[in-house]
């Protein structure tokens, strides 16, 4: 009996450690995306779609790397983070926490879907462009719209995940109150990205979420250390 309890504690400690690592790693994915799109690349700000596609063709490898890290790698870490967060906050059965985790996993699906559509769509568009097909221009608009719609143009799903986690954490008195108050702000900003006319909301969500990710990682490590004592 004691052996089973010890094994369960060890499993929980490992789970929290992996969860904390995932929360620390997700901001790194954001940073990689920023460095590639904001520093390394300079997509032409022109009305000519052909110029944009030609530039994408010349930088396809770097853009693929950005999509892999920004969507697929991030999605993998997010999957671990959602599981660890649910395990840490699931002290008592809660429909609110279950709903939060459901939105978290939906976000994971969106990340993987966006990443794969981005990679396949870009490759198909470049191939059509190389053949001189006029369909390349149409595909440019289609695949960028789908990727942006699912993968970050609107941060509704991620915002709801953070928002519901924070509400549950405050009600259940789990983790630091300040962390959950920040989560309320982050989640609200994510929901407000529905208003596409205010692009600053997306930036505010991303920056504030980086802080929330790091704080959550520290909280999981702290709770792991406390339970070890």
Q: What is the pLDDT of residues 172-205, one digit of tens each?
A: 888 999 999 999 999 999 999 999 888 899 999 9
Given a cut of 80, whether residue 225 has pLDDT beyond it is no
Looking at residue 228, its pLDDT comes to 45
Q: List C-alpha distances in Å: 176 to 72, 111, 128, 208.
A: 30, 28, 53, 17
- What's 112's DSSP letter? H
Position 131 confidence tier, pLDDT thresholds 50, 70, 90:
very high
Between 46 and 227, name the one with better pLDDT. Answer: 46
Given a cut of 50, whether residue 104 has pLDDT beyond it is yes
Looking at residue 11, its pLDDT comes to 63
Given a cut of 90, whether residue 163 has pLDDT beyond it is yes
Helices (H), the chain: 2-34, 49-58, 60-67, 74-89, 95-130, 135-151, 156-172, 177-192, 200-228
Helices (H), 1-48: 2-34
Sign of CA dihedral 188, 191, 197, 202: positive
Position 59 confidence tier, pLDDT thresholds 50, 70, 90:
very high
Looking at residue 192, its pLDDT comes to 96
Q: List C-alpha distances in Å: 110 to 29, 154, 175, 224.
A: 16, 11, 28, 30
Question: What pLDDT, in 10s, does the model give residues 9-57?
Answer: 566 778 889 999 999 999 999 999 989 988 888 877 777 888 899 999 9
Summarize the confidence of residues 95-119 as an average pLDDT.
Answer: 95
Looking at residue 45, its pLDDT comes to 78
User: To the nearest whole number, what is the mean pLDDT of the chain?
Assistant: 89
């Amino acid at each position: 009996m004691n052996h089973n309890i010890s094994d369960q504690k060890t499993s929980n400690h490992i789970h929290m450690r992996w969860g904390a690592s995932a929360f620390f790693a997700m901001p790194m994915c954001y940073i990689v995306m920023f460095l590639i799109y904001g520093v390394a690349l300079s997509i032409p700000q022109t009305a000519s779609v052909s110029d944009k596609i030609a530039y994408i063709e010349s930088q396809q490898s770097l853009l693929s790397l950005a999509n892999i890290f920004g969507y697929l790698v991030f999605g993998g870490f997010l999957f671990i983070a959602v599981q660890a967060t649910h395990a840490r906050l699931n002290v008592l059965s809660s429909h609110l926490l279950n709903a939060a985790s459901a939105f978290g996993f939906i976000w994971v699906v969106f990340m993987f879907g966006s990443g794969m559509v981005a990679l396949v769509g870009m490759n198909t568009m470049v191939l059509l462009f190389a053949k001189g097909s006029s369909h390349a221009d149409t595909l440019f608009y289609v695949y960028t719209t789908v990727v942006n719609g699912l993968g970050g143009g609107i941060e509704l799903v991620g915002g709801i995940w953070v928002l519901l986690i924070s509400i549950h954490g405050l009600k259940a008195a789990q983790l630091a109150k300040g962390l959950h108050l920040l989560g309320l702000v982050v989640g609200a900003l994510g929901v407000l990205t529905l208003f596409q006319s205010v692009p600053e909301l997306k930036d505010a969500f991303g920056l504030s979420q980086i802080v929330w990710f790091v704080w959550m990682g520290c909280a999981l490590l702290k709770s792991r250390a406390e339970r070890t004592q």
